[in-house]
């Protein structure tokens, strides 16, 4: 049995990371469409320059890889002798990427293990790394899948959004609510709904940025044992507030490991500037 690991660009991790310096790990980029200009989210761009383009654009959408792109990659994986594919892409409630990969894999008669991150970014990274570790222990694929999926199911992500306009464009809230909320300087808080495959839903709103940061930490930790979780802060053009949020968590929960990483465009273009996502990930 030769196992390949597949993820997409919603992981927001540098390809220089040790995890990618492994021939068993494969990556497929999502697409960013800025005013009809289609851009592969492959990391081969200036991140800040692309963010500025997004803010100036009239229309920005993201899309999953085409079936053809997925087929080409799976052909490459099979040609290299892999007969099992472990896939952890952006959550099923956020994109159909994983479903398309599954369909193509079945057509090509390669065994596929799907891990639904029900989120993005740090959750996918943790899932694939944990799966790889458990394989080395000699456990069965089914047992490993159950263990990793359970870890994902009890992990969560919460976000602080600064501008309601982007949520309105994505259909999360109405135009009237967006204009009214912006006028009152309301800071919406959103989370991924696990029962909806990780779809983003609003859960609270406050009047100031400081209160928003405090509230997101309170919500993230109110139903978990802090010492059993690690935290990753996803940062989309919120460089000033990311370290503030990190310091706040470390002060309130000193036993919790906290790190900051870039937030993927697949999420950021729909939430806008100054977005911070707090991932609470169960430490296996």
**Three-class SS state of 22:** coil
Kindly tell me the number of DSSP H helices and DSSP E strands found in the chain.
10, 13
The rounded distance, in Å, linking the Cα atoms of 237 and 37 is 22
Distance spanning both ends of the chain, measured CA to CA: 25
Residue reference for tokens 């540098």: 14
Q: What is the DSSP letter of 103?
A: H
The string of pLDDT tens digits covering residues 78-137 is 999 999 999 999 888 778 899 999 999 999 999 999 999 888 888 898 999 999 999 999
**Domains assigned to the chain:** 3-30+65-153 (3.40.50.10170), 156-282 (3.30.1180.10)
Residue in 134, 139, 69, 74 with CA at minimum distance from that of residue 107: 74
Of 95 and 13, which is predicted with more confidence?
95
Residue reference for tokens 């310096």: 21
The model's confidence at residue 6, banded by pLDDT at 50, 70 and 90, is very high
Tokens of 78: 């099979």
The string of pLDDT tens digits covering residues 163-209 is 766 665 554 444 334 433 443 466 778 776 665 555 667 777 787 88
Spell out the residues 6+ positions from residue 150 whose beta carbon is closer than 8 angstroms to its own. Answer: none
Tell me the average pLDDT across 264-279.
Answer: 86
* Residue pair 92/116 in contact by the 8 Å Cβ criterion: yes
The model's confidence at residue 70, banded by pLDDT at 50, 70 and 90, is very high
The string of pLDDT tens digits covering residues 209-230 is 889 999 999 999 988 888 899 9
Tokens of 160: 């602080």
* Residue pair 197/242 in contact by the 8 Å Cβ criterion: no
The DSSP element (H or E) to which 275 belongs, if any, is: strand 275-282
Question: Would you tell me how many other CB atoms lie within 10 Å of the CB of residue 8?
Answer: 26
Q: What is the DSSP string of 116-132?
A: --SS-THHHHHHHHHHH
């Amino acid at each position: 049995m030769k196992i390949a690991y597949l993820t997409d660009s919603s992981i927001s991790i540098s390809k220089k990371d040790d995890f990618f310096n492994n021939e068993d790990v494969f990556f497929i980029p999502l697409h960013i469409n800025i005013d009809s200009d289609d851009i592969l989210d492959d990391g081969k761009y200036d991140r800040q320059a692309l963010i500025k383009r997004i803010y100036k654009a009239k229309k920005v959408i993201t899309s999953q890889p085409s079936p053809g792109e997925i087929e080409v990659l799976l052909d490459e994986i099979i040609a290299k002798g892999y007969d099992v594919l472990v896939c952890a892409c952006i959550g099923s409630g956020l994109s159909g990427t994983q479903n398309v990969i599954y369909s193509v894999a079945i057509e090509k008669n390669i065994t596929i293990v799907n891990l639904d991150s029900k989120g993005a970014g740090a959750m996918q990274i943790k899932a694939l790394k944990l799966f790889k570790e458990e394989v080395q222990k000699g456990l069965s694929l089914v047992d490993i899948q159950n263990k990793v999926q359970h870890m994902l199911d009890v992990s969560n992500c919460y976000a602080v959004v600064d501008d309601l306009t982007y949520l309105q464009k994505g259909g999360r809230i109405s135009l009237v609510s967006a204009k009214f909320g912006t006028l009152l300087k309301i800071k919406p808080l959103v989370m991924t709904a696990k029962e909806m495959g990780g779809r983003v839903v609003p859960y609270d709103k406050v009047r100031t940025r400081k209160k928003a940061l405090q509230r997101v930490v309170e919500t993230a930790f109110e139903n978990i044992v802090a010492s059993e979780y690690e935290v990753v802060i996803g940062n989309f053009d919120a460089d000033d507030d990311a370290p503030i949020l990190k310091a706040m968590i470390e002060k309130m929960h000193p036993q919790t490991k906290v790190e900051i990483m870039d937030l993927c465009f697949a999420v950021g273009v729909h939430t806008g500037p100054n977005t911070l996502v707090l991932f609470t990930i169960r430490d296996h």
